[in-house]
Structure 1
Amino acid sequence: MTIKNQSAFIRAIANDNSLPIEKAALELWIKDLENPFRWTLRPLLQLIFALLLHVTWFVKRLPLPQFSGHSLLQKMICWFCKHLVSPEANLLILRHFATESNILNFLSENSGQSVVVDLYPKRIDDMLQDTFVKHDQELFDAFLHLGDVKNAQNKFYSAITWQRWQTIDMADFKLERKASQVIDFETAHALFMCLFCFLLKRDEYRDAINGFNLDQSIAIRIGRIINKPEIVEMAYNKYPHYLVGPWNLSQRFLMHGFFTEYLYAELEEIRLSAVGKEADNEQIADES
């Protein structure tokens, strides 16, 4: 669909830069919004799978022997991604691992901690080795070691370090495109969420869907470092002390993805500005 055929609202958000988001991510999302399956198949599947999810959640919370199938979960999700999920949605999924890994590494590095997150898959097959489960565990482990929020102290931009930061280059992502890859991002999540609930132990799944609420804590800490407390407004998911169930999971999951994209873009802009100033200073020093 060309720009002139897009609705007025889609054209508006495509050109609005009030919230920080990289152009590549925004273009992927706009294209995903235009996927006809999002407006036809998704509502029906979300209704069916939301009901199934709540039944699965109830059964998993019963005092029964717990089981998990991490390897099977990874293989099934990767199969869906390879054969059914649209290229745009796959790229958004791959980007999400990179954005959150960068955010956690930035937070750890600039809080004086040694936590290193190394989840930067470039292909679907890179997600086969416990990536989805490890993604949540890395987040929780980071908060175990970050310590007091006072460790996140306001720094001049020149004092911020970026040694563990990896800039996202869309050319690094490798996808084998298939004609069957037609499912949009949100429909894909509707398919995945029951698998997660069924193939994780009850506390693993409960922790995973409540991990989104640490977005607020991340924003508070990074806001202190870069002296922008207003970035906490980017966090839709809040109040991690209040544990929730799977209700409204799709929206909370999606808003978590937006949050990491916003925060990544905000930090990348600061990094590029610092690099530019450093280059200018070096040029001035050479000329003098």
Structure 2
Amino acid sequence: MSAIDPVEQLSNEPHDPRDPDPWVALFLDRSLPMNERTKAAMLVDQRSRSRQFLLPAIRPIARVLIIVFQIMKIFVSNRFTSSKLLHRLLSWGLKTFVSPEANYLVLRHFHVGSEILDFIARNTKELGVPTNPIRPTTLDHVKDEIFLNHDLNLYNFVIRLNRALREQGHTLKPPAKLDFSGISDEFPIEPMPRKWTNFIDLQSAIEIFTPMYQLFLTDRDFWRASNSLQLDETIAIYVATLMQAPGLVALVNNRHPMVPLSTMRAGFRLMLHGLSAESLHGFLVECKHGRMPQLARIVSTPNLAHQLPITEAA
């Protein structure tokens, strides 16, 4: 595979006014805060032939398998589940078949999620809420059950934060001074495999892995993982409250956690989850470096937070 940097690839793309490249347009657009390298990796991955031709074929098969495995689990229950085996298969699958851009986005997501929770914890120090950061640097770290632990961390954090607020009789409120010291510009992620077999895009990989997730996890673990995607709204509200920026919720499209959505579209919602997390983290990076003014519209427009969630076309 080509080792051309995604940023360089999109930056140097020729521009034909009669046939403009939509991916280049999205890369150059700066309406949403996002790490440049991450945005480029996402767009290069999205415009790949794998996503164009493989994804439409994989998606219906994956969704049929989700139904089959759900019916099967009625009879076999959780007797044949294994999170350790699942994560070993995921690690092997990512290293062997998934594109380097997609693998970079996967590992980066754990850093981003950890830092967003850390930001909330640092700015509510009086509550003493612990965090359990996940910071993988290689695909071998996937074997440490990091996908399952990522979901556990999210729910445990929400429970501990709100129990502390109840016990102390407090409500979430902005601190006297915001602490951005836990927010990083980049993460120490090692180069990803670039063999000829590493061609599957992120969204196709997610569609393939979702039935495996259901097969190897208990029902509670799988449903918790699927429903955790809608907690994007909850976490965004926490950050928006601390920063007095209600419009931040507009960066989130996975919403309404009290009305869980079907697991059939978990793959698409997982892509939105990654985008929402990157946008929220990108906003925090901008604020850390004092580049807040260019995001004033997002921060000061609370009615944007009431937009309906985006749904995927059938």
Picking from 85, 88, 94, the partner of 1:75 is 88
1:161 and 2:179 matched? yes
Partner Cα distance (1:236, 1:190) in 2: 19
Picking from 198, 202, 214, the partner of 2:231 is 214
Report the 3-state secondary structure (helix = DSSP H, G, I; strand = E; otherwise coil) of the residue aligned with 1:248: helix
What is the number of residues matched between the two proteins? 270
Asked if 2 retains the 8 angstrom alpha-carbon contact of 1:155 and 1:227, the reply is no
Asked if 1 retains the 8 angstrom alpha-carbon contact of 2:129 and 2:157, the reply is no
Partner Cα distance (1:213, 1:170) in 2: 25
Picking from 222, 225, 244, the partner of 2:261 is 244
Q: Residues 121-160 of structure 1: CA distance to partner in whole angstroms, max 9, x if unpaired?
A: 010011111111111001111011111496431245xx11
Letter paired with 1:135: H
1:12 and 2:14 matched? no
For residue 30 of structure 1, report the CA deviation from its aligned partner.
1.5
Segments of structure 1 that go 5 or more residues without pairing to the other structure are: 275-288
Q: Residues 24-48 of structure 1: CA distance to partner in whole angstroms, max 9, x if unpaired?
A: 1111011102211110011101111
Asked if 1 retains the 8 angstrom alpha-carbon contact of 2:174 and 2:241, the reply is yes
1:65 and 2:77 matched? yes
For residue 59 of structure 1, report the CA deviation from its aligned partner.
2.9
Letter paired with 1:35: S
Letter paired with 1:65: S
| RMSD, aligned α-carbons | 2.0
For residue 63 of structure 1, report the CA deviation from its aligned partner.
6.1
For residue 162 of structure 1, report the CA deviation from its aligned partner.
3.6
Letter paired with 2:78: Q
Segments of structure 2 that go 5 or more residues without pairing to the other structure are: 1-8, 292-314
Partner Cα distance (2:184, 2:270) in 1: 23
Where do residues 95-244 of structure 1 align in structure 2 (5 Å cutoff)? 95-112=108-125, 113-147=128-162, 148=165, 151-155=171-175, 159-163=177-181, 165-169=182-186, 172-244=189-261
Letter paired with 2:174: N
For residue 267 of structure 1, report the CA deviation from its aligned partner.
0.6
Letter paired with 2:50: F
| Greater relative contact order (Cα < 8 A, sep 6+) | 1
TM-score, normalised via structure 1 length? 0.88
Picking from 16, 28, 36, the partner of 1:23 is 36
Query: Corresponding residue for 2:13?
Result: 3
For residue 15 of structure 1, report the CA deviation from its aligned partner.
1.3
Q: Residues 7-31 of structure 1: CA distance to partner in whole angstroms, max 9, x if unpaired?
A: 4422221111111111011110111
Letter paired with 1:80: G
Q: Residues 214-261 of structure 1: CA distance to partner in whole angstroms, max 9, x if unpaired?
A: 111111111011111101111111111112331222221100000100
Asked if 2 retains the 8 angstrom alpha-carbon contact of 1:109 and 1:115, the reply is no
